[in-house]
Structure 1
Amino acid sequence: MRHSSLRRTIALLAATAAATALAAGCSGKDKVPSIGYAVDTTVTSYNGGTTAGAAAAQAVFGRVLTGFFYTGPSGQPVADSDTGTAKEVPGEAQTIQYRLNPAGVYSDGVPTSCDDLVFTWAARSGRFPGFDSASTAGYEDIERVECQPGSKDGTVVFRPGRRYLPWRTLFGAGELMPAHVAAQVADVPDIVAAVQNDDRPALDRLAQFWNTGWNLAPGDLDITAFPSSGPYRIESFDLDDGLVLVANERWWGDTPATGRVVVYPKPADLAAHIEDGSVAVVDIGTGSLPELNLDAFTVQQLPSRGVEQLVLSTGGVFESDAARRAFALCVPRQALFDQLGRVTDAPETGLGSGLSDSRTVQPDSAYYPAVTGAADQFAGGDVAGAKAALADTGKKQLTVRVGYLAPDARRARTVSLIADSCKQAGITVEDASTPDFGSAQLSGGAVDAILGGPGGLPGPAGSLDGIAAVSGLRGGSGLNAGQFRNGRYDAITDQLAADDNSTDQLNLLTEAENLLWAQLPSVPLFATPRTIAFGGGLQNAVAGPTRAGSGWNMDQWVLQR
């Protein structure tokens, strides 16, 4: 979708979105040259394909590192022909033909090429050891990427007998990385040849760079390592001054409507930046930062497509199914939704209408009512059931440390309510939140559970495809912080991604949910409520309660005061 088409899409969305009221009455006002964007995620890596970078990949860098598709405000994949075109072509094996825009060039002057596809696939395929990939979903099903080094054309061929229905989620915004940077630092003159020839020494050096070479340390940034393929590029990053994005002079598409956007992620002092007028867009978890003064903003509360959940370890105190069951039974899920998960003007059915009884199936899906029966026994704090399950572990008491990214008043209240309920069953729940919390603290044993979105990640989350939610429970996935492993679950998700028969889908989804409610690698709560606020005079902003956040179209924002 080119930007002229994007503007038409925005106009259509604006007809039904509350944000459109902000576009009115701007005559006689001056355009503000810089717009502040406050979002409740961390920014630790430029590389959205890594576990560390997955949280901010699209919400922050979706218009910096573009891809063949991006996540739209309803959670759907949207084609972005500024990057190029992708189409499925006939063949014995599933085959996708990618053609990069002939005008495409990174902000450092290096043309985009199919080398970028080869490198991204190699890093995320699971075929080559050493790469820390957040998810291999879809990429692991690719047999090869046909590419002449430097070419604008690439052909992706899937493995014989395999089909990946949500192929439009591959090589997307925030995740298609500049291969030439890695090649230069890792001293690999030809990445395509290194991958095709399985050159392990070269691939090892590439993996080292992939894992940490694009880490973002505030105040210490070599901009040459972070070239952009989108309308914005990084200018600087500082805890006080935020992540500064400026118009990319080499961008071949429509010039950004505003030349400078400053992202304020956690742990920035969002209250101070709002108070001094620096921020015009706020996208945070509802109730997470009650100290924010949003009186001057038009505010919406929306249920997101990310499921608020407790991701449990499968080791330590939660080594047994019985221990996880005891904890899940004492969690007051219904009370948590009633007090903390219900948004203003909650719908009667569908997304945001009640508890989320599935980790992977959206409440507005036709399959949802038929696949969630196993959740019925976990609706509220069942103290007696929790005691019985705890007795099955041979223990009389259990201590559970719950971690999340602080500060977050809603999640602090969530832990407190769980603690009050579970103490009656002999389970002590402790708040283990920290301002630098990350999912690695669960896999490392520092906590026993994470309170967050899919994969335990903070910030904007969710999409119609649910790939991140599925990956968060697949064995070996970087997003699988609790290290849950079940071969049958993995096989089910593989078949779901390849089989579009509705009867098969229903049967497989039902089996998956029954399995997950029996083994409890996580406890879903509700659609994470998001507060999205736009300042007076802001035009073209459309709320995006998905993993792409409301920054999905930041290059179209205009602020007039």
Structure 2
Amino acid sequence: MKQDHRFVRRTAVALVSGALAAGALAGCSSKNQVPSIGYGVDAVIASYNGSSTLGANSGAAAVFPRVLTGFFYTGPDGQPVADTDTGTAKEVPGDAQTIQYRLSAEGTYSDGVATSCDDLVLTWAARSGRFTKAGPGGPVPLFDAASTDGYRDIERVDCQPGSKDATVVFRPGKHYSAWKTLFNAGDLMPAHVIATQTKIPTVVTPVQTGDQPTLEKIADFWNNGWKLTPGKLDLTVLPASGPYRIDSFSDKDGLVLVKNEKWWGNAPRTPRIVVWDRHSDLKSKVSDSSVGVLDVGAGSLGDVSLGGFHKQNLPGRGVEQLVLGTGGVFGSADARRAFALCVPRQALFDKFGHPGYDVKLGLGAGVLNSRTVPQDSVYYPAIAGAGDKYKGGDATASQAAASSGLQNQTVRIGYVKPDERRSAMVAAIADACKSAGITVVDAGAPDFAASQLTEGKVDAVLGGTASMPGPSGTIADTDAIASLRTGAGLNFGRFGNGRYDAIADQLAAEDNSTTVLNLLTEQENLLWGEMPSIPLFAGPRTIGFGDGMENGIANPSRAGAGWNMDRWVLKR
């Protein structure tokens, strides 16, 4: 297999994660195990479907990794790790890149229906981008997929309906090095649910035959049928393929996950997990001991006391950034560059970017000068210079704002509240940009969604990778790359550049280090020129495990601390 350049990394996070896990193991032997653990995470529970734009952006990957499993999951370094309970995946020789998938013979959803290759066909159909319908400006995708990266290069998925075997064949001349990021935890949705809801025998046949009316019905449910609203769950459409299943969801009691009796792997160590998301008043949940595991943006809860926790602040895989619109006040690249000149990136990093730690090299070491290349990549030092002129507070910001038409304009920055760190960051940006004649308005709100940027209700989003409000980022940086690709669901600013798309495509298959470096250098120069977003720093995370926790291992990626929740044991 070709080596994906984005997977090259240092081991700092692994060492930090290991230290946190080891500290959490101490002093548990003589206590009693508690039957239910509260998991506080600053994701926003909005959809069961992690492949949809809504599900990916709201943080399904951090909530459901052990409810909807896949062939790989995101491990504590942000890397894909094989989940052999789900099945096996292997690349096989051939003229075209080909991956053979075999689901576990025992694999069964919590409703008693067997897992099958139908699930892979559905995922590919939804994320391939090839199924469209007529729109006002031409064809538009049927499926509101977060990203088509990797999937759009697949020519076909060979599958006999109901079979445990699937062969995925890529298009001639295409190669996707990061193929282990496909069909992952949270990506594989239960195809049999859609078949039942649309009253068809299987989703495979309409996909293979291109049955447009049926595909439109399939897409409608895929887009809308798995949205989650407290107090309004239809559990019949929410079967689980992992060690936990959803039991209930309410504002008062949180999202309750319970042991999935149909699970064929090792039984979860704790039979009940209660997920409290960003809308759950996490501060009070921590104070009243409702939370045994906490994973939030560092500083987001303000002065909350974490006594009784073994906690640590550490740099995350997500990119804390301002995602800019490409219309309205930011309709020109000149205006976006002018704004970047006044955003005090260095000052923001100094005050908010490394709370409680000081990394000298790698992830979290200084202002982040790339949107898609992590600081612990071997390529980062060579390509980071393009962003150096945008440290912030530049004396030319006023002149740039005036010449671009941004002076005397208002910039509305949205984010999900409550978040005390991001609120303070917006205030600091407003103060710095005032001298350039730019008025910055805090447009944060509890019901804020990144889609408001697309709708023109705000001018920028302050969030993590791909505008995510909570845990974000992986080593492969697939979300970061997709968030800048023309037409991608995660591209909320609607940036579009054909050359960027072509570079991303080439990098996905390239294994020559010199070529990779040249492409990344061109990409960075392009992005700093077009300024679709303003990277600030590696998003700092606060991850804490209650005293008496066993098997708590920090995962500062989009999978969050809940990546191995089925192994948690809390003794008090």
Query: Where on the TM-score scale, by shorter chain, does this alignment land: which range?
Result: over 0.9
Alignment match of 1:512 (pick from 523, 545, 552):
523
**CA apart distance, 1:380:** 2.1
User: Does the aligned pair in 2 maintain the 1:43–1:265 contact within 8 Å?
Assistant: yes
Alignment match of 1:439 (pick from 450, 455, 469):
450
Matches within 5 A, 1:127-146: 127-129=130-132, 130-146=142-158
Matches within 5 A, 1:402-481: 402-481=413-492
RMSD (Å), alpha carbons? 1.2
SS of 1:126's equivalent in the other structure is coil
**CA apart distance, 1:142:** 0.3
Q: Which residue of 2 aligns with 1:280?
A: 292
Alignment match of 1:253 (pick from 265, 274, 280):
265
When residues 273 and 394 of structure 1 are mapped into structure 2, their CA distance, relative to the original with a 3 A threshold, is: closer
SS of 1:64's equivalent in the other structure is coil
Q: Deviations over 1:116-164 (max 9, x none)?
A: 0000000000001210000000000000000000000000000000000
Q: Deviations over 1:470-500 (max 9, x none)?
A: 0000000000000000000000000000111
Read off the aligned partner of 1:525 and give its amino acid letter.
L
SS of 1:491's equivalent in the other structure is helix
**CA apart distance, 1:266:** 1.6
**CA apart distance, 1:275:** 2.1
User: Is it true that 1:349 corresponds to 2:361 in the alignment?
Assistant: yes
SS of 1:227's equivalent in the other structure is coil
Matches within 5 A, 1:159-558: 159-382=171-394, 384-394=395-405, 396-558=407-569
User: Does the aligned pair in 2 maintain the 1:303–1:343 contact within 8 Å?
Assistant: no
Distance between the aligned counterparts of 1:493 and 1:445, measured in 2?
27
Distance between the aligned counterparts of 2:73 and 2:15, measured in 1?
16
When residues 379 and 461 of structure 1 are mapped into structure 2, their CA distance, relative to the original with a 3 A threshold, is: same
**CA apart distance, 1:240:** 1.6
Distance between the aligned counterparts of 2:317 and 2:15, measured in 1?
18
Q: Which residue of 1 aligns with 2:26?
A: 24
When residues 251 and 14 of structure 1 are mapped into structure 2, their CA distance, relative to the original with a 3 A threshold, is: farther
**CA apart distance, 1:395:** 5.4
User: Does the aligned pair in 2 maintain the 1:343–1:352 contact within 8 Å?
Assistant: no
SS of 1:283's equivalent in the other structure is strand
Bigger drift between 24-33 and 520-529 goes to 24-33
Distance between the aligned counterparts of 1:15 and 1:400, measured in 2?
38
When residues 460 and 395 of structure 1 are mapped into structure 2, their CA distance, relative to the original with a 3 A threshold, is: closer
Distance between the aligned counterparts of 1:262 and 1:319, measured in 2?
44
**CA apart distance, 1:397:** 1.5
Segments of structure 1 that go 5 or more residues without pairing to the other structure are 1-11
User: Does the aligned pair in 2 maintain the 1:73–1:542 contact within 8 Å?
Assistant: yes
Distance between the aligned counterparts of 2:250 and 2:283, measured in 1?
17
**CA apart distance, 1:276:** 2.1
**CA apart distance, 1:291:** 4.0
When residues 14 and 506 of structure 1 are mapped into structure 2, their CA distance, relative to the original with a 3 A threshold, is: closer
Q: Deviations over 1:360-393 (max 9, x none)?
A: 00101110011121101001211x3222222222
Distance between the aligned counterparts of 1:481 and 1:67, measured in 2?
27
Distance between the aligned counterparts of 1:110 and 1:16, measured in 2?
38
User: Is it true that 1:121 corresponds to 2:124 in the alignment?
Assistant: yes
Distance between the aligned counterparts of 2:355 and 2:299, measured in 1?
10
Distance between the aligned counterparts of 2:525 and 2:63, measured in 1?
36
Read off the aligned partner of 1:348 and give its amino acid letter.
K
Bigger drift between 393-402 and 421-430 goes to 393-402
Distance between the aligned counterparts of 1:271 and 1:312, measured in 2?
30
Alignment match of 1:59 (pick from 40, 59, 62):
62
When residues 536 and 95 of structure 1 are mapped into structure 2, their CA distance, relative to the original with a 3 A threshold, is: same
User: Does the aligned pair in 2 maintain the 1:323–1:393 contact within 8 Å?
Assistant: yes
Read off the aligned partner of 1:187 and give its amino acid letter.
K
Q: Which residue of 2 aligns with 1:87?
A: 90
User: Does the aligned pair in 2 maintain the 1:106–1:229 contact within 8 Å?
Assistant: yes
User: Does the aligned pair in 2 maintain the 1:333–1:379 contact within 8 Å?
Assistant: yes
Q: TM-score, normalised by structure 2?
A: 0.95
| Structure 1 runs (4+) greater than 3 angstroms displaced | 12-16
User: Does the aligned pair in 1 maintain the 2:115–2:164 contact within 8 Å?
Assistant: yes
User: Does the aligned pair in 2 maintain the 1:460–1:549 contact within 8 Å?
Assistant: yes
**CA apart distance, 1:38:** 0.1
**CA apart distance, 1:23:** 1.6
Bigger drift between 48-57 and 119-128 goes to 48-57
Q: Deviations over 1:248-293 (max 9, x none)?
A: 0000000000000000002002122222221110000000011422
User: Does the aligned pair in 1 maintain the 2:157–2:169 contact within 8 Å?
Assistant: yes
When residues 273 and 15 of structure 1 are mapped into structure 2, their CA distance, relative to the original with a 3 A threshold, is: closer
Q: TM-score, normalised by structure 1?
A: 0.96
Read off the aligned partner of 1:297 and give its amino acid letter.
F
User: Does the aligned pair in 1 maintain the 2:18–2:553 contact within 8 Å?
Assistant: no
Q: Deviations over 1:44-93 (max 9, x none)?
A: 00000111100322210000000000000111100000000000001110
Read off the aligned partner of 1:148 and give its amino acid letter.
Q
SS of 2:280's equivalent in the other structure is coil
Segments of structure 2 that go 5 or more residues without pairing to the other structure are 1-13, 133-141
Distance between the aligned counterparts of 2:360 and 2:15, measured in 1?
22
Distance between the aligned counterparts of 1:538 and 1:27, measured in 2?
11
SS of 1:215's equivalent in the other structure is coil
Read off the aligned partner of 2:18 and give its amino acid letter.
T
**CA apart distance, 1:394:** 4.0
Distance between the aligned counterparts of 1:525 and 1:252, measured in 2?
44
User: Does the aligned pair in 2 maintain the 1:86–1:97 contact within 8 Å?
Assistant: yes
Distance between the aligned counterparts of 1:124 and 1:378, measured in 2?
35
When residues 271 and 391 of structure 1 are mapped into structure 2, their CA distance, relative to the original with a 3 A threshold, is: closer
State how many pairs are aligned.
Answer: 549
The percent of aligned pairs where both chains have the same amino acid is: 62
